[in-house]
Chains A and B, each alone.
Chain A
Amino acid sequence: MKKGQISNNIRRLRFDHDEMTQKELAEKTGVSRQTIVAIEKAKYSPSLELAFQIAYAFGRPVQDVFSYENFE
Chain B
Amino acid sequence: MSQQEKRVTVSLITSLILFVFFASYMLGLHEQGRLAGPDVYSLIGKSFFVLIGGGIVVSIVVQILVTIIHAIVTKGYEPMMNDERDKLFSLKCMQIILLIFSVGFVASMALLALEMVVPHIVFLLIIFSMFIANFIGDLVKLFLYRGGV
Interface residue ranges, A against B (CB under 8 Å):
30-35, 38, 41, 43-44, 46-47, 50
CB-based contact A32/B149 at 8 Å? no
Provide the B80-108 mask, 1 if CB < 8 A to any CB of A, else 0: 01011110000000000000000000000
Name the distance in Å between B3's Cβ and chain A's nearest Cβ. 7
- Give Cα A34 to B148, complex, Å: 10
Interface range on chain B: under 10, 10 to 19, 20 to 34, or 35 or more? 10 to 19
- With a cutoff of 8 Å between Cβ atoms, the chain A residues found around residue B147 in the complex are 43
CB-based contact A47/B84 at 8 Å? yes
CB-based contact A43/B149 at 8 Å? yes
Kindly state whether residue B47 has any CB partner on chain A within 8 Å: no
* Interfacial residues of chain B within 84-143, with CB under 8 A of chain A in the complex: 84-86
Closest to A39 in B: B85
Interface residue ranges, B against A (CB under 8 Å):
2-4, 78, 81, 83-86, 145, 147-149
Name the distance in Å between B87's Cβ and chain A's nearest Cβ. 10
- With a cutoff of 8 Å between Cβ atoms, the chain B residues found around residue A47 in the complex are 84
Q: Interface on chain A toward B: helix, strand, loop, or mixed SS?
A: loop
Closest to B83 in A: A31
CB-based contact B148/A32 at 8 Å? no
In this complex, which of A34, A41, A43 has the most chain B Cβ atoms within 10 angstroms of its Cβ?
Answer: A34
A41 CB contact (under 8 Å) in B78, B81, B148 = B148
Name the distance in Å between A55's Cβ and chain B's nearest Cβ. 16
Given A32-B2, A32-B3, are A44 and B81 neighbors across the interface (CB < 8 Å)?
A: no
- With a cutoff of 8 Å between Cβ atoms, the chain A residues found around residue B84 in the complex are 31, 35, 46-47, 50
Name the distance in Å between B80's Cβ and chain A's nearest Cβ. 9
Given A44-B85, A47-B84, A50-B84, are A34 and B149 neighbors across the interface (CB < 8 Å)?
A: no
- Give Cα A14 to B148, complex, Å: 22
